Structure 1
Amino acid sequence: MSQPRAIVPGATYLLTRRVLRRHFLLRPDSAITQLVIYTLALSAQRYGILVHALCVMSTHLHLVVTDTRGELPRFLQRFHRLVALGTKVLRAWEGPVWDHGATSAVRLATRDALVEKIAYTLANPVVAGLVQHAHQWPGAKVLVGELGSGALRAQRPEIYFNPKNPEWPEEAAIPITIPPVFSNSEADEFRREIAAKLDQHERRARATLQRQGLGFLGRARASKVSPYKRAMAIEPLRELNPTFAVGRGRTDALNNAIAAVRAFRAAYRKSLEQWRAGVRSIIFPAGTWWMRVFHGAAVDDGEPAAA
């Protein structure tokens, strides 16, 4: 059984979803890019999700978003379902598209964590040895200069989405915003910080490949790889599934986040035990989502501790 987690309106997350057995089903061609952006825009609009960063790799995707209404699970279910259904048609693929593991949702609890994880998201194709600079990646992505000023926009894909159904407009778009913790007056400084972190990632990646005597794959070859092949490089087992990040060296923030998570889980389990015993008047801690949505449980309307 997975650990309970608080779903809090206004929280910002790094989201990661992986393709089944690391197949290249999300190969960065124009059809997949169109599908992902179109479905992301529609799903984010429906559930009040602000999009800050995106990078779609062949075997996984990263998103940094803010959940303004506390509906992250509904957003993820709809977005991933639409991407999977469209991918199955595009690739003539039978069976699951996504890995059986749950989506990684890491709450970004500090400004430092936001800068680190957004830069990490944008740098993914470089760190993976695919292109020398993040802006060269041919797949769906956000560029540093688009943070707070650009938009993700796509026409309705020709597959799966019935043009006669009003649910699927001819075009979908979503602005690329900066996280709410940063004010508009801080936008330029925010972009400079991201650019500096991204440059560090790119420099390290180039130095690593040079030491190994290797080169970058290049955007042309990355776009033509067979979507039915699998990544064969050894990937370390993911023993940890973090629920939050605070940034490097933020000891006080780390301790506060750990305490908040433990307090929520303890309160949730205590409430759940009483619910299972038949006590329907019990109040679950603030941030409880599943029990509130699917079982009508009462939830404390106070703000949970930041995590």
Structure 2
Amino acid sequence: MSQPREIAPGATYMITRRVMRRHLLFRPDAAITQFLIYALAVSARRYGMQVHALCMMSTHLHLIVTDVTGVLPRFLQFFHRIVALGTKVLRTWEGPVWDHEAPSVVRLLTRAAVVEKIAYVLANPVAAGLVRHAREWPGATVDVDELGRGVLRAARPSAYLDPKKPQWPEEVTLPLSLPPTIDQDGADGFRQEVAAELERQEAQAHATMHQHGRCFLGAERASRISPYERATSYEALRERNPTFAVGREQGDAWRIAGGAVRAFRASYRAALERWRAGMRSAVFPVGTWWMRVFHGVIVTDVVLSM
């Protein structure tokens, strides 16, 4: 049985989902980029999600979002389904699009975590040896200067989506929001922090490439490679699936957050045991999602601090 996850309104997350067997189905051409931005804009508006950053790699997708109303599972279900179905049409692909593993959902609990993970998302094409600088990536992504003030736009793709249905407007816009921990007065400083962290991660990637005697593929070649090929570079087995991040050198925050996660899981499992024993008055901890939505269990209003 998987570990229960707290779904808290207002929480910020880094979300990652991978393509089946590392096929290059999200090769960064114009058609797939348009479809992904359109699907994300429609999905975010439908479920009230604030989007802060994104990067569509050829084999996986990264998002940084804030779940304003606590409906993250609904958003992911809808968004990932639309992306998969559209990709199958665009690529004439008959098999599954997404990897069999569940998406990675990491809650970002501190400003440091938000800065580091946004920079990580933007630096992904550099770390993968595709382009020398994040701004050169031709796929769906954002620039540091756009954080909190940029707007992505996409016309309705001709593939898969029915123009007669009102849920698919002719054109959509996706404003890039500031994370809730950052106010407008601190926006410039926040962007500077992300830029500095991005520069650090790019330099680290350059050093690694040089150490191994490798050259960057380049944006043009990355856009022309066959989407039916598979990535052949080494990828470590995913032994860990973190629940939260607090950033480097945040030991106290890490211990507090770890304690809160353990407390939530213990409270949830104790309530679940009582509920399974027939006690329908069992009270589940705040943040319980599945049992509340599908079984209508009682949820306390006492918040376990993170």
Whether 2:243 is the aligned partner of 1:260: answer no
Tell me which amino acid in the other structure corresponds to 2:270. K
Q: Is the 8 A contact 1:123 1:201 kept in 2?
A: yes
How far is the alpha carbon of 1:232 from its aligned partner?
A: 1.1
**What are structure 1's unaligned runs of at least 5 residues?**
none
How far is the alpha carbon of 1:303 from its aligned partner?
A: 2.5
Instruction: Summarize the alignment of residues 157-196 of structure 1 with structure 2, pairs less than 5 Å apart.
Output: 157-196=157-196
How far is the alpha carbon of 1:222 from its aligned partner?
A: 0.1
Q: Is the 8 A contact 1:287 1:304 kept in 2?
A: no
Aligned to 2:111: 111
Aligned to 1:45: 45
Moved more, 189-198 or 201-210: 201-210
Q: Runs of at least 4 residues of structure 1 off by over 6 A?
A: none
Aligned to 2:55: 55
**Within 2, Cα distance between the matches of 1:303 and 1:147?**
31
Q: Secondary structure at the match of 2:180?
A: coil
Aligned to 1:100: 100
Q: Deviations over 1:131-171 (max 9, x none)?
A: 01101000000110100110121110001111111110001
**Within 1, Cα distance between the matches of 2:190 and 2:16?**
23
Aligned to 1:298: 298
Q: Deviations over 1:32-66 (max 9, x none)?
A: 10111001001111111100010000000100000
Aligned to 2:244: 244
Over the aligned positions, Cα root-mean-square deviation in angstroms equals 0.8
Instruction: Summarize the alignment of residues 139-218 of structure 1 with structure 2, pairs less than 5 Å apart.
Output: 139-218=139-218
**Within 1, Cα distance between the matches of 2:211 and 2:74?**
45
**Within 1, Cα distance between the matches of 2:177 and 2:240?**
30
**What are structure 2's unaligned runs of at least 5 residues?**
none
**Within 2, Cα distance between the matches of 1:145 and 1:234?**
32
Tell me which amino acid in the other structure corresponds to 1:238. R
Tell me which amino acid in the other structure corresponds to 1:60. H
Tell me which amino acid in the other structure corresponds to 2:3. Q
Q: Secondary structure at the match of 2:234?
A: coil
Aligned to 2:15: 15
Q: What TM-score do you get using the length of structure 1 for normalisation?
A: 0.98
**Within 1, Cα distance between the matches of 2:226 and 2:301?**
50
**Within 2, Cα distance between the matches of 1:207 and 1:196?**
17
Instruction: Summarize the alignment of residues 70-109 of structure 1 with structure 2, pairs less than 5 Å apart.
Output: 70-109=70-109
How far is the alpha carbon of 1:304 from its aligned partner?
A: 2.9
How far is the alpha carbon of 1:302 from its aligned partner?
A: 2.9
Q: Is the 8 A contact 1:41 1:172 kept in 2?
A: yes
Q: Is the 8 A contact 1:151 1:176 kept in 2?
A: yes
Q: Is the 8 A contact 1:156 1:171 kept in 2?
A: yes
Tell me which amino acid in the other structure corresponds to 1:92. T
**Within 2, Cα distance between the matches of 1:208 and 1:233?**
14
